[in-house]
Structures are given as C-alpha cells and as structure tokens.
Amino acid sequence: MKIRHIRSADIWLLSRGNKILYRGKMNPFHSTKVIAAALRRDGLRVVSG
C-alpha cells in the first residue's frame, strides 16, 4: 500500500497496486477510519484486538 500527498492540489492518495482506495483532503495517517474504509473497499477486513 502506498500513501502519497499531492501538495499542489492538497490531496492525499492511498493506493494498492493500480487501484486508488482513498482520495481526499484528510491525512490517512491521522485517521484509522479512513484506512479501515479504504481496506474494506479492497475487500479486506480490519480486526482490532
């Protein structure tokens, strides 16, 4: 998984392979909900424990 910040547009991208899982203004490192939602879109489940 890659997380990139595009400064010129102030957009964060979270991708896995060629698939964009998250694109938005919020930093994924600061929110576990963003990462969990992105992984659910890819078909993975987050288990906390």
Q: What is the mean pLDDT of residues 20-40?
A: 86
Predicted TM-score (pTM) of the model is 0.71
pLDDT-derived band at 40, boundaries 50, 70, 90? confident
Q: Are 20 and 13 in contact (CB under 8 A)?
A: yes
pLDDT-derived band at 6, boundaries 50, 70, 90? very high
The H-or-E segment that residue 32 falls in is helix 32-41
